[in-house]
């Protein structure tokens, strides 16, 4: 009886090995290129730290590949002016991307996500898409898998967070730097027009909301400023946001500061 059981187990083990080997034999290398486009702007590339790309098997969550987009933001004129016809690729040689090769033996539903820009983690957003892929049928044509990353990178330059300012009444300078997620700059009349976006500071004093104040172009590329009239001491929070009414794109940064007598 024991000999028969050993024989059965041996046969089953052999069948498992054969099936595994057969699966590997029929697996096909499938290339995938992922690009991440800042909403209303260009590609998220090396200059902004790139975007973290993760490719998962959608049904199980198993990570199949991951990496960071590297390369340039792309050709400004081509992206923003010329490539307006539908299905025209936005990328040109050197445009930031992440390319990988997966060994697949069956059609697979992929979950492809991008988090970035990694060089400005406080402003990072995530974009995600699911995509069927067939073994041997590459996803590299045109722009490959193109993810659009919403947001602005807003950096509050003044006041420094957690600073203590002494004396009331006083004017407090609120100043912020605002760029697209790819690092593209804003200026009056520019391709990324500072006159088209709204930059404001939402203010809280000791837990109570105050009137918001506008931040206007400060004379230097991508910089906006305004002044807060402070009459009372206490803890202040400033949330500076940038908003584009043309497409709803939004980003923000926060600062906390204290004013004492």
State pLDDT tens for residues 230-257.
Answer: 999 999 999 999 999 999 999 999 999 9
Share of the chain above pLDDT 90, in %: 85
H helices within the chain, ranges in order? 2-26, 76-77
Q: What is the pLDDT of residues 139-183, one digit of tens each?
A: 999 999 999 999 999 999 999 989 999 999 999 999 999 999 999
Q: What is the pLDDT of residues 77-105, one digit of tens each?
A: 999 998 777 789 999 999 999 999 999 99
Q: What is the dihedral of CA 6, 8, 9, 13, to 10 degrees?
A: 140
Q: What is the pLDDT of residues 56-80, one digit of tens each?
A: 999 999 999 999 999 999 999 999 9
Please report where in the chains the tokens 């995509």 appear, as a residue.
Answer: 131
Distance CA 117, CA 61 (A): 23
Q: Sign of the CA dihedral 228, 234, 240, 245?
A: negative
User: Which segments of the chain belong to CATH 2.60.40.10?
Assistant: 27-149, 152-260
User: Helix, strand, coil shares of the chain as percentages rounded to 5?
Assistant: 15, 50, 35
Distance CA 207, CA 225 (A): 23
> Domain 152-260 - what CATH class?
mainly beta
Whether omega before 159 lies within 30 degrees of 0, making that bond cis, reads yes
What integer pLDDT is reported at residue 16 of this predicted model? 53
Q: Per the structure block, which two tokens stand in for 31?
A: 């290339």
Q: Per the structure block, which two tokens stand in for 199?
A: 């930059």
CATH (one of 3.40.50.10420, 3.40.50.300, 3.90.1310.10, 2.60.40.10) for 27-149: 2.60.40.10
| Contact indicator for 175, 229 with CB cutoff of 8 Å | no
pTM of the model: 0.86
Please report where in the chains the tokens 């500072």 appear, as a residue.
Answer: 194
pLDDT tier for residue 11 given thresholds of 50, 70 and 90: low
What integer pLDDT is reported at residue 78 of this predicted model? 95
pLDDT tops 90 at residue 8: no
Please report where in the chains the tokens 């000999």 appear, as a residue.
Answer: 3
* Dihedral-angle region of residue 40 (phi above 0 means left; psi in -120 to 50 means alpha; beta otherwise): left
Phi, then psi, of 182 in degrees rounded to 5: -90, -5
Name beta bridge partners: 229: 171
* Dihedral-angle region of residue 87 (phi above 0 means left; psi in -120 to 50 means alpha; beta otherwise): left
What integer pLDDT is reported at residue 84 of this predicted model? 75
pLDDT tops 60 at residue 25: no
| Contact indicator for 144, 34 with CB cutoff of 8 Å | yes
């Amino acid at each position: 009886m024991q000999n028969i059981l050993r024989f059965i187990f041996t046969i089953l083990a052999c069948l498992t090995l054969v099936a595994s080997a057969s699966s590997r034999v029929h697996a096909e290398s499938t290339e995938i290129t992922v690009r991440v486009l800042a909403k209303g702007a260009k590609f998220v590339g090396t200059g902004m730290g790139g975007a973290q790309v993760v490719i998962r098997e959608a049904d199980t969550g198993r990570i199949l590949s991951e990496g960071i987009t590297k390369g340039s933001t792309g050709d400004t004129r081509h992206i923003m002016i010329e490539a307006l016809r539908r299905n025209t690729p936005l990328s040109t040689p050197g445009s930031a991307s992440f390319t990988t090769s997966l060994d697949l033996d069956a059609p697979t539903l992929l979950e492809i996500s991008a988090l970035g820009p990694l060089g400005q983690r406080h402003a990072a957003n995530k974009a995600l898409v699911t995509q069927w892929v067939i073994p041997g049928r590459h996803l590299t044509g045109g722009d490959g898998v193109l993810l659009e990353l919403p947001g602005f990178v807003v950096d509050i330059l003044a006041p420094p967070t957690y600073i203590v300012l002494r004396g009331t009444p006083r004017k407090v300078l609120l100043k912020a730097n605002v760029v697209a997620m790819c690092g593209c700059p804003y200026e009056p009349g520019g391709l990324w027009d500072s006159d088209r976006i709204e930059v404001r500071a939402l203010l809280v004093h000791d837990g109570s909301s105050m009137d918001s104040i506008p931040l206007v172009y400060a004379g230097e590329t991508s910089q906006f400023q305004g002044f807060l009239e402070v009459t009372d001491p206490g803890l202040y929070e400033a949330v500076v946001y940038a908003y584009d009414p043309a497409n709803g794109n939004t980003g923000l940064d926060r600062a906390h500061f204290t004013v004492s007598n």
